[in-house]
Chains A and B, each alone.
Chain A
């Protein structure tokens, strides 16, 4: 059943119903609500693990499992869960496991190049609203078709700790790689109509997930998936083929159809994560590599928007990758709740009782933007973060999530008097509308700051000095 249609009552009916609280919730209904929101899992209800609830357990499992299987790749801290999705459109629920991004290396790259690429993946990091945007995996391609070369490269890359994808259609080469890293649970690429049996044997023998590949042939893709499922391989990832330019329309169509088949049509052989290959944008090499980088970024972003759970890329230019990791973060935030930070008082630099007290909202984007501006200007000050349920300043004012009341309450509850002695608070320019009322309700003097927090240093230089003199 599509996740959006599942009601807590339906789940509740299958729980033991004793309200024993062992799950940490006050009663079974509360636990049911969390289950429906996928905020907990059934094994957190200990009584349910009892033999006598076996049939209820199985029913719950079937009700709650994601229609797109969750496939694990890698081990330890860097392990990735691929897929595990419930809906086609994010507004119907939320997307769960952000598209994993793998960067390719080949087994004929020089040592320097290999090291440089591994380091580039390691060092890629961009701070965005309190999160670190990163790359996730490394795909080792065998361009040599030589098991020894492949083994050597896999060995070297595996030291990085990143989950690996072993890419070659030659089972003998894959196996050579697997002898080195099977314990690290790499993903192997790929089973095709020609080699599926050998690949299936490898997947079973080494207990690793397997990609099924049938580019631009959904009938073959489904037939292969079915065959492999019946062969006993359960952790599959589907590669329906990726192409930029003339193949783009078919590419996006296929991804979309497969996702609808898995989720809305509950097709048991297609309920697997999807692999996209933006790297194919390098097939046609332009004299100016910038074009390949650019096309690959567009292709990657289109695939992230249209249901890819894992992508393999080649380009490593920061300007091209930044939009990609931003888009992924944006689309995989939970639309049911804005990204927010804890309300309260934050300290920047070394403030004294005479330092400025600023006010902002607890929308993560707002908070981190303001914090970054304060930090880069090296200001010594306090910042009161008001709970606006994760809404930005202007929207919160317009939507009454921040009113003079809530602001005055925050001033009182967070005991601003304990931090500063001047009873003056600086509010964002976009909150100017409520300044008078805040003064009335809180007894604090309100200064209206600039519209954009980047104007704070200049504003403080003129207004704060004037004020304190």
Chain B
């Protein structure tokens, strides 16, 4: 406290300001400096956010200092989440009408991602590795070096991804159907998909080329020929023939990614349109992934908002979320040579993809499309630790750690 003797305190004296900042309660009654003078010094920079003005009249009681720890209960905060994210089953086994060795279920949450003090994550998020049907696809060097030998054969690429890189699923990107690339006919795309289905026994997702007409044509061909497989088609967008797309997904027993651009209202709109023709539990939504440093903040926040809304009763947003975390490689910092200080880029790139994905994992993503084997492994490990029931057996003695 600044006592009456201090009435000649120089308002420009720093220790005086410090005292203000620290004690927060000061007797001001007898101080003979005008508030005008004082005000000059109440800059928030100097004071931080400590309570600056101190016009408490009267004495504050001096409480005795505690002599032992004042035991206090900690209460786990409760939160109201009233609805559940729908569960979507991807892939089907023989008995279920498909050919996969097992199906994978995503979604089903009743609490935000990994708020396991409220609820244990009912289904683990899964990772699909991207496989392309077009060998000239532009891949970053750090990725290409791992898949060079299989780049001409999507089926082999898929096999490598499952057997060596431990992909939960395969995402077959049909780039070659793009009218601006090879304009490959639907039959050819179907052949690729059949080969991949043969090569691996995990559930499969199908990526189109982004051309709304061509994608629908190809999806129709594939959906009919693989009835019952519960493939995950990516994607249906607002500029496609939504009704036609939804109908083939429903009719042939598949699932779909509803893709919109970083806007929860667009996501709602698309879902609403899909509900007219499609069961809710066949829809995974994707609100767009931007790379770390290139809009990840938007991607994160849109996904987090969508998830919280879904849990709090917005029944147009309570779907599992998909993320194309491969987009991380769009960031220059993921692949560019930046000089020795930031090298090697062979590590920087996959870490970039990992952090992009990990951040969205914490926002609520259930299904990842990824590319670099190290990123896939790292995210898998992180998911395992986050869903595990184990508790630390000892605490880290990092203070005296010799490193």
Chain B neighbourhood of A196, CB < 8 A: 69
Quick one: given A319-B351, A327-B292, are A302 and B49 in contact (CB under 8 Å)?
no
A49 with B392, Cβ < 8 A, contacts A90-B301, A298-B354, A319-B351 known: no
B347 touches A290 (CB 8 A): yes
| A253 touches which of B115, B292, B352, B399 (Cβ 8 Å) | B115
Comparing B100-108, B153-161, B220-228, B336-344, the segment that makes contact with chain A is: B336-344
B296 part of interface (Cβ distance < 8 Å): yes
Instruction: List chain A residues, Cβ under 8 A from B293.
Output: 128, 326, 329-330
A residues near B386, Cβ cutoff 8 Å: 248-249, 252
| B52 part of interface (Cβ distance < 8 Å) | yes
B305: A residues at CB distance < 8 A: 89, 91
List, sorted by A's number, 9 A–B pairs whose CB atoms are closer than 8 Å: A43-B52, A57-B55, A141-B399, A207-B18, A222-B74, A246-B393, A269-B72, A302-B382, A326-B293
8 Å CB interface, B1-43 against A: 18, 22, 24, 28, 35-36, 38-39, 42
Instruction: Tell me if B81 is interfacial: C-beta within 8 Å of chain A.
Output: no
User: Given the complex, which residues of B lie within 8 Å of A219, measured CB to CB?
Assistant: 71-74
Q: Is the CB of B117 within 8 A of A297?
A: no
Residues 281 to 313 of chain B near chain A (Cβ within 8 Å): 292-297, 300-301, 304-305, 308
Q: Is the CB of B42 within 8 A of A43?
A: yes
B181 within 8 A of A: no
Contact B115 A46 (CB under 8 A): no
CB contacts (< 8 Å) of A16 on chain B: these are none
CB of A215 closer than 8 Å to a CB of B: yes
Question: A172 within 8 Å of B by Cβ?
Answer: no
- The total number of A-B Cβ pairs within 8 Å is 245
A246 with B391: in contact, given A223-B72, A231-B65 (CB under 8 Å)? yes
> How many Å lie between the Cα of A253 and that of B114 in the bound state?
8
Q: Which listed residue (A90, A227, A241, A269) contacts B395, Cβ 8 A?
A: A241
A324 to B76, CA, bound (A): 30
- Complex CA gap A51/B55 in Å reads 7
Q: For chain B, what secondary structure do more than half of its interface residues adopt (helix, strand, loop), or is it mixed?
A: loop
* Residues of chain B contacted by A383 (CB below 8 angstroms): none
Instruction: Please give, as numbers and ranges, the residues of chain B lying within 8 Å of A327 by CB-CB distance.
Output: 292, 296, 355, 359
User: Does B72 contact A322, Cβ atoms closer than 8 Å?
Assistant: no
**Do most interface residues of chain A lie in helix, strand or loop, or is the interface mixed?**
helix
A contacts, CB < 8 Å to B = 41-43, 46, 49-51, 54, 57, 61, 65-66, 69-72, 81, 84, 89-91, 106, 108, 126, 128, 141-143, 145, 167-169, 189, 193, 196, 207, 215-216, 218-224, 226-227, 230-232, 234, 241-250, 252-253, 256-257, 260-261, 264-265, 269, 277, 279-280, 282-283, 285, 290, 294, 297-298, 301-302, 305-306, 312, 314, 318-320, 322-324, 326-327, 329-331, 333, 335, 365, 398
Shortest CB distance B359–A (Å): 5
Contact across chains for A260 and B74 when beta carbons are under 8 A apart: no
Q: Which residues of A contact B351 (CB under 8 A)?
A: 294, 297, 319-320, 323
Within 8 Å of chain A (Cβ to Cβ): is B403?
A: yes
Contact size class for B? 35 or more
Residues from chain B with a CB closer than 8 A to the CB of A244 are: 385
Contact call A169/B72, Cβ cutoff below 8 A? no
Q: Complex: how many Å from CA A330 to CA B298?
A: 9
B388 CB within 8 Å of chain A: yes
B116, A253: Cβ atoms closer than 8 Å: yes
Whether B400 is near chain A, meaning CB under 8 Å from some CB there, is yes
CB distance from A388 to the nearest CB of B (A): 15
Q: Is the CB–CB distance between A249 and B116 below 8 Å?
A: yes
Write out the residue numbers on chain A whose beta carbons fall within 8 Å of the beta carbon of B71. 219, 223
Contact call B347/A320, Cβ cutoff below 8 A: yes
Tell me which residues across on chain B come within 8 A of A232, comparing CB atoms.
65
Give complex CA distance A260, B74 in Å: 12
The 5 closest A-B pairs by CB, nearest first: A247-B392, A70-B49, A319-B348, A280-B396, A215-B395
Contact B53 A43 (CB under 8 A): yes
Complex contacts, A71 vs chain B, CB 8 Å? 48
Specify which chain A residues have a CB less than 8 angstroms from the CB of B213 in the assembled complex: none
Of B56, B79, B390, most buried by chain A (CB within 10 Å of CB) is B390
Query: Which of B49, B342, B386 gathers the greatest number of chain A CB atoms within 10 Å?
Result: B49
- Cα A230 to Cα B66 with chains together (Å): 7
Smallest beta-carbon distance A305→chain B, Å: 5
CB-based contact A301/B358 at 8 Å: yes
Query: B53–A57 contact, CB under 8 A?
Result: yes
Q: Which residues of A contact B389 (CB under 8 A)?
A: 249
B214 CB–A CB distance under 8 Å: no
Cβ-defined contact, A243 with B396, below 8 A = yes
Task: Specify which chain A residues have a CB less than 8 angstroms from the CB of B268 in the assembled complex.
Answer: none
Apart from A246-B391, A314-B403, list 18 A-B contacts with CB within 8 A.
A43-B44, A49-B38, A54-B55, A216-B395, A223-B72, A234-B22, A243-B392, A244-B385, A247-B390, A248-B385, A249-B114, A250-B391, A252-B362, A261-B77, A302-B358, A320-B351, A330-B296, A330-B297
Report if A65-B51 is in contact (Cβ < 8 Å); known contacts: A43-B44, A222-B72, A323-B352. yes
The residue in chain B whose Cβ has the minimal distance to the Cβ of A338 is B298
Closest beta carbon of chain B to A54's beta carbon, Å = 5
B402 within 8 A of A: yes
Selected contact of A265 from candidates B18, B49, B50, B77, CB within 8 Å: B77
A168–B297 CB distance below 8 A: no
Among A49, A256, A279, A285: residue with most chain B CB under 10 A: A49
What's the nearest-Cβ distance from chain A to residue B394, in Å?
A: 9
Q: Name the residue on A nearest B304 (C-beta).
A: A89
Within 8 Å by CB of A298, from B47, B116, B358, lies B358
B395 & A167 in contact (Cβ 8 Å cutoff): no
